[in-house]
Structure 1
Amino acid sequence: MTLTMLVVFLGHVLLGLPLFIALLTTAFVGFLFVDFSMIPRMMPQQFFGGINVFSLMAIPLFILAGNLMNVSGLTERLMGFARLMVGHLRGGMGHVNVVSSVFFAGVNGSAVADTSALGSLLVPAMEKEGYSRAFAAGLTAGSSLIGPIIPPSIFMILYASLTNTSVGDLFLAGVVPGLLLGVAFMGMNAWYAWRHRLAKSTQLPSLGQLGFAFIAALPALIAPFIIVAGIVLGFVTPTESGALTALYVALCGVVLGGLRLKECWKAILDTARLTSAIFLIMAASATISWLLSYAQVPEQFVSLLSPYVDNSVVILLLLSAITFVTGMFMEEVSALMLLTPIFAPVAMMAGIDPIHLGIIITLNITIALITPPLGACVFVAAAVSRLEIVSLFRTIWPFVLTAIAVLILLILFPPLTLWLPTLLG
């Protein structure tokens, strides 16, 4: 049954059908193998039940907060502060690219939005500084991976809803891995700048300039603390945190004069388009997930990996390899929805902390966003930089390998992810 479903799914994807239709058709074929009479009853129930989760309402609210930041000018303030912080270093604009992604990650939680918002501004600026356009686009796509790791994270919210894991603990666990990714990509950029002897583009800023830029960016910098502190301290749920953040960003935009009715309406429309696509995929994926669970596929997977459960590192490496290959050929939300219910029992048997597993799965799924042939961030980076997609796919592999190196580091040293939740949770 599973093999037939996989063939049907790949066939529909190759035909170019919308992903949620391919997923629903695959579920329909699976029900034919299990029990045809269940189709009119269970398919609608699982389709709508898959998105009838209160915590998932946080997703459109965090997306809206990020879109409001873009249209209100707060993103430019963050980039200006990042430029004064690291722009005076050799290869300064590349460092600005990474640091801006770190700042932007604290509100949006979406790698694709990060690539789109920052790429159109930073790729031309990096090219003027002497970077090749391909490297600039590759660094933009690569550093966007920080978005779903540093809280808030759409992928973490989905994982939490599937495993009944604390969203607050997952958010805390993502801080150190996200910063490690930033350091790794800044290291790549420094090596590139040294190898190509790029000149410093700006002078060391004065304390006054740095302070002024910090004050200008402070309204945007406060947003991540509102999100994490509110959830961790128990003042708000993730959904309420998303609503509070969106309201806060909107008020900042109005007060600072960058947000008008036209821009606000554009942010709402963009949020509705992206959210509708995500939720359709989630609902269709939930139908297949229930069917696989009903057919006891997770139990079969557990028995298959049972010889290795005594070694948690081996289990995580195997799960990461499966996720990596799956993510290369499947949309990330659907991959997360399908794999998590199968992987979680194996991880529990191996004694892996569910918070640690959540970060590993999230980073795996995120890496797929820059991995050929379907990496969404690569397509967005190619579009904003006006590059041929094949050319960018050739350039992106060093960034993929850098992210994988960080992933392996997190697998080998679980305290890197669990230290902060243990300290503050």
Structure 2
Amino acid sequence: MLAMISLALLFALLALGMPIGFALALCGIAGLYYLGGYDTVFGVLQTVPLSTASGYDLVTLPMFLLMAEFIIVSRIADDLFDTATKFIGHLRGGLGIATALAGAGLAAITGSSTAAAATLSVASLPAMIKHGYERSMAAGVVAISGTLAMLIPPSIAMVVYAIIAGIGVGPMLLAGIIPGVLVTLTIALTVRFLVIRDPRLAPTTAKAPWKERLASLRITGPMVVLILLVTGVIYAGIATPTEASALGAFGALLLSMRANASKSQLWGAVGQAVRASCMIFTIIIGAKIFGYFFTMTQFTQDLIAWVSSLGLNRYLVIVAILLLYLVLGFFLDQIAILTITVPVILPLVTSLGFDPIWFGVIVILMAEVGLVTPPLGLNAFVVARATNRPVGEIFRGVTPYVLAHLVLVGIFVAFPQLILWLPNSAN
């Protein structure tokens, strides 16, 4: 009962607008005081913030955030879309597919779904509308392509999940590669299906000559090489995720300098990375405090015992959990979802025999779907605000992609090796 009251208080504080990190810490402190008094509260507060913030893997977060900010000031987003357009834009629906590919590239740069969606709204949506694409379809592919940032490494959500779940950051990042490719392919195939069924949705455009295509690679090529290098050194065991993130941040600095970014832009990028890092560190520390309280309530153990007593097939349980994550995605961002639920749900999932890395990818994919699903899909509102289009138009355009994503989730549940093969095969 105490655990349920604390959860209700947590959601009430979030509804009132309190930052998620402070809400988690406040509810955790209140619960710890109720259970053990001042001594318990002070004991946790004296150890948890320092032990959490000093974790070696946590250095990965500010480095990846710094890498993203440096790449953003190099203005590479327009170049990504332009390169993809030159290669496949002449196909029917090619600009939509180019948006998905640019979204995958931005995912590997920013690690933030909302930032990727806002950037794509400016970079690709006007181009699609200019070439006669149906507005809701164009807006839908922009909104769903922005969510790829949650899955494709270096994903901030992946790093946060790994830290909260107590598993390796490297294997978690590697686990997102194949699903990320398959999600990108799913978006592209959905675009093709829609335009083949109704050619009026997307007219064809002129084919770019090979000279222009190859010239565009000289601009985006170094960024692609940097992303492959960061991921490759982790897979090959040459560097830890923390070392790879530092390599990525340094490489991104060189790219931004190559793009003639000003000194003020570079310092602005550092400031943005620091602010984002402080926010995420606060959330993780708050989640750890809240997690101590939940451990003392024995709520998770009681939940595992109750589910076991029901005698349900474990796949029915996992489907119910995934539906819960889908609903949470309507209202909360991915970091909030992970910090609130993973300490409670993950022990239940592992008790059912599911792999925690597999579950992390599935959870992030479901949160991705929630970001574009009515009534409160965050990415849909980001695209609507950036383009001054009705949010209903965005939701209407994104519906086919949501259905395709749910089919893909079912495939990942049925064939977990699609997620686990790469991290299991790494050195």
Change (3 A) 1:399 1:29: farther
Shift of 1:161: 1.8
8 Å CA contact retained: 1:313, 1:412: no
The residue identity in structure 1 corresponding to 2:48 is Q
Aligned to 1:202: 206
- Secondary structure of the corresponding residue to residue 131 of structure 1: coil
More divergent stretch after superposition (51-60 vs 25-34): 25-34
More divergent stretch after superposition (273-282 vs 117-126): 273-282
After superposition, give the CA deviation of every residue in 1:276-311 in whole Å (9 maximum; x if it has no partner): 322222222222122112212221221122257885
Shift of 1:87: 0.7
Cα distance between partner residues in 2 of 1:401 and 1:286: 35
8 Å CA contact retained: 1:148, 1:154: yes
8 Å CA contact retained: 1:74, 1:217: yes
Aligned to 1:244: 247
5 Å-filtered alignment, 1:11-410, equals 11-37=12-38, 38-43=40-45, 45-194=47-196, 195-197=198-200, 198-203=202-207, 205-255=208-258, 257-307=259-309, 311-389=313-391, 391-393=393-395, 395-410=397-412
The residue identity in structure 1 corresponding to 2:31 is G
**Where do 5+ consecutive residues of structure 1 fail to align?**
none
- Secondary structure of the corresponding residue to residue 191 of structure 2: helix
Shift of 1:99: 0.7
More divergent stretch after superposition (36-45 vs 399-408): 36-45
After superposition, give the CA deviation of every residue in 1:113-157 in whole Å (9 maximum; x if it has no partner): 211222211111111122344432322121122222121111221
Structure 1: which 4+ aligned runs deviate by more than 6 Å? none
- Secondary structure of the corresponding residue to residue 124 of structure 2: helix
Shift of 1:178: 0.9
The residue identity in structure 1 corresponding to 2:11 is L
Cα distance between partner residues in 2 of 1:47 and 1:377: 32
Cα distance between partner residues in 1 of 2:328 and 2:292: 19
After superposition, give the CA deviation of every residue in 1:298-329 in whole Å (9 maximum; x if it has no partner): 21221122257885533432321222223333
More divergent stretch after superposition (229-238 vs 173-182): 229-238
Change (3 A) 1:390 1:7: farther
Shift of 1:196: 4.6
8 Å CA contact retained: 1:326, 1:335: yes
Shift of 1:220: 0.6
8 Å CA contact retained: 1:360, 1:410: yes
Change (3 A) 1:7 1:423: closer
Change (3 A) 1:306 1:96: same
TM, length-normalised to structure 1: 0.91
Cα distance between partner residues in 2 of 1:16 and 1:339: 19
